[in-house]
Amino acid sequence: MYFVVTARTSERYSQGIAPPFGYYEPIRIEAGEKEDGWRLSKLLERRLGVSRKLLSRLKLTEQGLMINGVRAYSGDPVSSGDIAEIRMEQERSEDILPQDLPLEIVYEDKWVLLASKPAGMVVHPTHGHYTNTLANAAVHHWQQAGENVRFRPVHRLDEDTSGLVLLAKNPYVHQQLSEQHGDGRIRKQYAAYTYGVPEIPAARIDAPIDRDPDSPHHRIVTPSGYASATRYETLAVYGGRASKVRLRLETGRTHQIRVHMGWIGCPLIGDLMYGPAAAGAGVGSWEEAAGRQALHAEMLSFEHPMTGEEMTFTAPLPPDLERLERLLQQDSIQGHDEGEGRTR
């Protein structure tokens, strides 16, 4: 359930009415000697990194700001030894239909959930995709576990890209992880299979990306675009006709890997928007084996917002890309000309 800040909801808070689902576990810190006399807002901003947006929200929550177990205000001073805490209302994604769908959970605690998304699944409901999304599956999972959690993805993957997606389970954790994602502290690594072989085995692609003015869903490299950088390393070459590459994103533009690899002449196998199929080529055995763009988010690393621990997780290649790799290896050994098997 969502609460819009209106005169009515402000009155609700002033009357001391508890939120319908209760609170998430409080986050507490003890004020030190150097922080004696600080405003509560300054302590929370400096020590916890609480954003102004979240602080404004906590001000409107009945027990959002506390000092030594007593409701406080952002301008209240703290003394050395005081225990300051924030409490966030538990929420649900009431606008997302819970669905009992397969959900591969790589890691979960009370703060985060890391899932491995299959290809063909949208992360969040959008126009035309109201069901069968990662959000529907996650909301059902939390409902069954008796948890009141709103769906908050830290980042997204394209529908036909498989691999790791990180979800935050409360507003503070989402804010912290979003900041990590924005400044590049969340490291993401991808495996991809491409047509052709990169001229330079390992390099950094620094090419700005923006929307194609002729196609709103399409992205292009253009000097006037947003700064975009991708690092790649060639792991295997299949008969000089295809490659397996490892990629790391320095920025996170829409379709970035697909656009950058196409720009250097090595589009992803099976990519219907930026690959040969977009130029009118038919479907061959490689595309049939993959059944989608050959891109997999295989590794994700982040600093846990609550423990400070550096956490790294991996997701193995899904069966469709394992099948594609075997076919590429076989074609390489046999010297098979993939072009001969493609319908034009």
Q: How far apart are CA 189 and CA 170, in angstroms?
A: 25
Write the Ramachandran bin of 64: left for phi over 0, alpha for psi from -120 to 50, otherwise beta: alpha
Q: List residues bridging with 317 in a β-sheet.
A: none
Q: Is 132 exposed, middle or buried (0-12, 13-18, 19+ CB in 10 A)?
A: middle
Please give the full DSSP string across 173-240, using - where no structure is assigned.
HHHHHHHHHHTT-SEEEEEEEEES--SSSEEEEE--EEEETTEEEEEEE-TTSB--EEEEEEEEEETT
Q: Which two tokens stand for residue 87?
A: 């409490």
Neighbours of 336 (CB within 10 A): 17
b/e 230-264 (16+ beta carbons within 10 angstroms → b) = bbbebeebbbebbbbbbbbbbeebbbbbbbbbbbb
How many angstroms separate the Cα of 5 from the Cα of each of 17, 19, 109?
15, 14, 30
Q: Which two tokens stand for residue 106?
A: 């790589």
Q: Which two tokens stand for residue 286?
A: 């490689």
Active-site residues: which are they?
158
* Of the candidates 204, 205, 203, 224, the residue with the CA atom closest to the CA atom of residue 213: 224
Collapsed DSSP state (helix, strand, coil) of residue 85:
strand
Q: Is 138 exposed, middle or buried (0-12, 13-18, 19+ CB in 10 A)?
A: buried
